[in-house]
Amino acid sequence: MRPEAGSRASALHAARLSLLLVVLVSAAPARAQSFASPLVGGFAFSGPASPHVTSIYYNPAAIGLIDGTAFHLSFQGSFDSISIDRSPIDPATGAVVAPGTPGARTFPGARERAFVPGGFFGLTTDLGTDNVTLGVAVYTPYYEQRAPAKPQPAPGQDGPTRYHLLEATQYHLYITPTVSFRVLKELYVGAGLDIVWSDLANLAFDRDTALGGRLCDVARDGVESDACTERVRVHGSTWSVGVPVGILIRPFRRLDVGVTYRSGLFGTTRANVPFVGSGSLTSPGDTSGQDVFARTTMHVPHMLLAGLQLDLTQHFDLGVSARWIHWAADEVVEVRLSSATASERDVPERIPLYRGYRDNYTFKALLGYRPVPRLRLGFGAIVQSPPVKTSAVSPAVVDGWQLWGLVLGEVQVLRWMSLSGGYGLRAMLPRSEDASLFDPLYQVDCAASRYDIPTCRPANRGRGVATGAGQYSSYGHHFGVATTVQF
């Protein structure tokens, strides 16, 4: 709804405040339990076919439906909980054994609980024309903050998750300028450029040195020996770019349909993101680490989004969308280390961390209801398929079928300003894994074969670590508030 000219001064004042607040949003990037959020932009009536500022992310073509100039600022938060209960193992081989087996090694449960914040800022303007709309936004669609273990001063006794993950914090901060063109009366096309600052603030995990026989002997010390644990900690950052392109068509008066392709990040080999920085190696029993150079390479996937927005009646509307994330099959996070000085001892050149991501899908439906013109209520659901198969679930990737329930509301408090907010309950269906594809003896066999390539293939893919067998569960409470100014 466009305001009268007399409200423009107030709207401009609110816009200046929004520009000030965006500094706070970008200074504290969003992080949560999932690497790819399904709620970019917070709790809003948004999607690939919605006339909303968050369409800068969902579909750059759809911003062509927004009249005048609009600002959107949202703040989100979540309380997340993850539970990890590893199965008992045979300490000599690392194989899973039945509970109560004599001599078996058991593990305490690991519980992660954290509050994580987030935000989105965007603005659009049609420059007073009917055919061109510009937009720009700052947001974090990919983020991760994990801490399943609390590292001790020295490696060892760091808990059941240490060989997969101790701590991880990473995010990708997007700055996305976009443009939408009205090609025909009911056809819009849009494109943009993702300028991305990727930051790996922290990645820490332990290594079992007995498996390769370098510092310990597996025959003497067994697997997951506290005395044979070496800690690796790395961090780094980089710039990269991506490209979003979209199309929106109105085949019928009450129906809009949108499709968007969002590329992975480019500028490096195979479209991977290299976090170039530094790190440390801490030997068994030590409390001070050896400084190293580090290059950690991760994959940011391609994505396809599609959706429709349908006005059912004067009071009801329906938004439906789907998202396909194209992960690289058997994706591996690669950590490459080199000595900080020539006088220091040699360090491993390459450490593969198996993640096993595969293509996954997200489906969202949101029913809107307007009891009065100034108030809009929403009730919805989200279903996400698992990004990893059951045998690949590990303390580093706790994920499965995700089910969400959503409620949100939007009220037009002034002609030029609306306020919105919402709540979402997320639950992951529990996953119980017995046939884990991780096995520490893969590294033992590789070393014993004198590094024969076929024999070492599982170890070279990062699967030669502690088994991931056990039970995993996760849930979260999500909430957010937002304001939209339009004039």
Average pLDDT, the chain: 87
CB atoms within 10 A of CB 425: 13
Q: What is this structure's pTM?
A: 0.88
Percent of the chain clearing pLDDT 70 (strictly above): 89
Instruction: Report the SS3 class of residue 97.
Output: coil
Write down the pLDDT at residue 3.
36
pLDDT of residue 90: 93
Domains of the chain are 86-117+149-167+195-486 (2.40.160.60)
Contact 208, 163 (CB under 8 A): yes
Up-side HSE of residue 66: CA atoms within 13 Å toward CB?
34
Q: What angle do CA 65, 48, 316 make, to 5 degrees?
A: 75
Predicted pLDDT at 226: 84
Output the six-digit token pair for 279: 């790190």
* Residue type present at position 229: T
Query: Do the beta carbons of residue 228 and residue 222 sit within 8 Å?
Result: no
Lowest mean pLDDT among 77-91, 218-232, 336-350, 356-370: 336-350
pLDDT digits (tens, 9 = 90+) for 133-160: 999 999 988 888 889 988 877 777 778 8
Give the pLDDT score at 267.
58
Distance CA 261, CA 273 (A): 19
The percentage of residues in the chain with a pLDDT greater than 90, rounded to a whole number, is 62
More confident residue, 385 or 212: 385
